[in-house]
Structure 1
């Protein structure tokens, strides 16, 4: 027997996870929760501190008991709780460099315990993607590495640790974004990988996540030609056939933001978003993330309307919609934070120190000139403080810092400012920015005592007397590099 209009609209709203502006839930979000909105996804714009997030979560839960409170808290370069300072936990590539799954589990447990204390029910992490090309513009240090088996062990440890206190983990971006050179925030990547290549590499960490009991998986906005022309988010072969049918995943499939250019066309185009929402549900997705980049209030209404119309038109079955809404509600279980909030404050620092790799002598003759070469942050990371200069100045008084884009820096002018301590150049994925690479090589050619600190994916050696790879730009990773250079570690 067909459901009545009000019940159908409640089911349609129940599969939506919406973004919003500000540190307090606006009236439209509270009203939408009353009408069945499945939950929200928090961004840096919604965070002041842990206490405020906990109060916000409580306010949301007062309106809807099983509300999903999601967040992107990967640690490392992608952080929401610490967007104002930089993360207290190193990111996946740093953990992969340490190569100790037990330590990764402890880091994830600390992160999960903190999120539980904030009332968060779903963490959109970890990235189970592999780093398969240095030209990848969006995954990079968010991956645990390039070796499928090693990354699988890390992913499984992260999932188990982060779910200990009841916060659901979400392995992303199935079947793997790390071989792409296109950012799906803006355009649709086509993954030039065969089905057999995927099974031998990219799918291995996702299979490990499923075996570890991951409660959610996020498909990527990317096309695997052998699986069809649709991106995985909208592709029944990817979701129902491979993820559920072959890997045996029974949890909740959570989409990446549907307004991203890869699926909705131009960012913010609501008609494309509404169509993508229906197609994702038909393909087997459950929770639909919207409102990261567009006016979410209007989007929630229009997407809800589109889902209802699709059911009435026979494009989407009531059973499929009800199944999706039930799976979303399962992610609204209230977590149980650790008693007393006891989380080892040193675990992040210890892991960051273990990830440091050095070639050459790291000692400094005196306070150096630090050149922090700025690049635009990725859409995933957003604007988070970065730079070695302030960290090193805390430990080595007299350190001077220049912070600018590589195109604004002149090697000769910098050389004239160098005193006895030499120059430390800090980069992020220098291999992807020719001007940054040129700056380092020109400083070396001038005969300066150059230390090159790379905080992104390690690229080619540029000839500096000392090369330091941190495998991430988190606050703790920068502190670890500063300790090394200041002779404190």
Structure 2
């Protein structure tokens, strides 16, 4: 993983425009979705073409399990993370061994398809308030979240799969869907530090990347986390001493739609300290950012 813009493509194969954009030196990642998957053979051909066009680009996907599994037919159906949290509370040793087996399957299947990582683990706490998080979380118990995420991280690293912890500093308390609106969390910093931040505090040194929540924590900072120097610089970099990649969630989401055009959003996120910006389902936004954001323009 390296600093830059992470984008998507619209279909099963690369267009000439796709190739040209992927070859831009500021584009460092490509996220695949269900819209890019028809069959294993097609996916293998697609990832091979991506690497031929842009060897530097990291190919990734959201293959969490449960309702967030982009590749379905031809791939093993993965249980949601909440399932593993429940099994862990019943029998720690048994759940850990079975979890490793399913992780082995996930990694093997993605690797065989030419996909280099999955955007996991989800480190959010499931308070039973947010349907968007819900079963994607390992559960309500912080020690269970940390233990299972730790297993996932170590197992992925053993198989050379980078990991991305999400959504910093915790997306589980708010009720709004950040794809549709800007969630606001009114809790104090002390409460968040004692709860939602604990998985990040305990595991940040193992995370290749941390994805930020598109949430405003109103008692702490009026800005969404991706535009907040307090959250990125003061908390993540200075207090937690995190040295990995800071990843801004998709800048096309409605949660940040009122913070200017794509260029302005990108500049705000970069100025706050984000290393990677996600821009999906908005090719015009990608082009605008590459053309107008100075740090992404080629020198000369």
Q: TM-score normalised to the size of structure 1? A: 0.56
- 5+ residue gaps, structure 1, are 1-13, 312-320, 326-489
> Which of the residues 296, 305, 308 maps onto 2:291?
305
Counterpart CA distance in 2 for 1:54 and 1:85 is 13
CA contact (8 A) 2:129 2:172 kept: no
1:291 lines up with 2:280 in the alignment:
yes
1:194 positional shift: 1.2
Counterpart CA distance in 1 for 2:174 and 2:74 is 30
1:47 lines up with 2:37 in the alignment:
yes
SS in structure 1 of the partner of residue 180 of structure 2 = coil
CA contact (8 A) 2:69 2:78 kept: no
Counterpart CA distance in 1 for 2:176 and 2:43 is 33
> Which of the residues 159, 162, 169 maps onto 1:165?
159
Q: Give the 3 Å change call, closer, same or farther, for CA 238–76 of structure 1 in structure 2.
A: same
SS in structure 1 of the partner of residue 163 of structure 2 = strand
- 1:204 is matched with 198
Counterpart CA distance in 2 for 1:227 and 1:101 is 37
1:94 lines up with 2:83 in the alignment:
yes
Counterpart CA distance in 1 for 2:87 and 2:160 is 26
Q: Deviations over 1:215-265 (max 9, x none)?
A: 111000001124311111111111222122222321112221111001123
- 2:180 is matched with 186
1:193 positional shift: 1.8
> Which of the residues 100, 105, 108 maps onto 1:110?
105
CA contact (8 A) 2:119 2:163 kept: yes
1:87 positional shift: 5.6
SS in structure 2 of the partner of residue 159 of structure 1 = helix
1:88 positional shift: 1.4
> Which of the residues 199, 204, 209 maps onto 1:216?
209
Q: Give the 3 Å change call, closer, same or farther, for CA 174–117 of structure 1 in structure 2.
A: same
CA contact (8 A) 2:180 2:253 kept: yes
1:299 positional shift: 1.7
Counterpart CA distance in 2 for 1:122 and 1:243 is 23
CA contact (8 A) 1:190 1:222 kept: yes
CA RMSD, 1 decimal: 2.3
Counterpart CA distance in 1 for 2:40 and 2:75 is 14
CA contact (8 A) 1:170 1:216 kept: yes
Counterpart CA distance in 2 for 1:102 and 1:45 is 33
SS in structure 1 of the partner of residue 185 of structure 2 = coil
Counterpart CA distance in 2 for 1:51 and 1:282 is 41
CA contact (8 A) 1:47 1:53 kept: yes
SS in structure 2 of the partner of residue 38 of structure 1 = strand
- 1:28 is matched with 17
1:86 positional shift: 8.4
1:250 lines up with 2:243 in the alignment:
yes
- 1:274 is matched with 263
Counterpart CA distance in 2 for 1:146 and 1:86 is 29
- Aligned residue runs from structure 1 range 63-462, under 5 A: 63-82=53-72, 84=73, 88-99=77-88, 100-132=95-127, 134-211=128-205, 213-265=206-258, 272-292=261-281, 294=282, 296=283, 298-308=284-294
CA contact (8 A) 2:39 2:74 kept: no
Q: Deviations over 1:190-224 (max 9, x none)?
A: 1122111111111111223324x221110000011
1:93 positional shift: 0.2
SS in structure 2 of the partner of residue 94 of structure 1 = helix
1:130 positional shift: 0.4
CA contact (8 A) 1:130 1:144 kept: yes
SS in structure 2 of the partner of residue 74 of structure 1 = strand
Counterpart CA distance in 1 for 2:279 and 2:167 is 17
Counterpart CA distance in 2 for 1:233 and 1:144 is 24
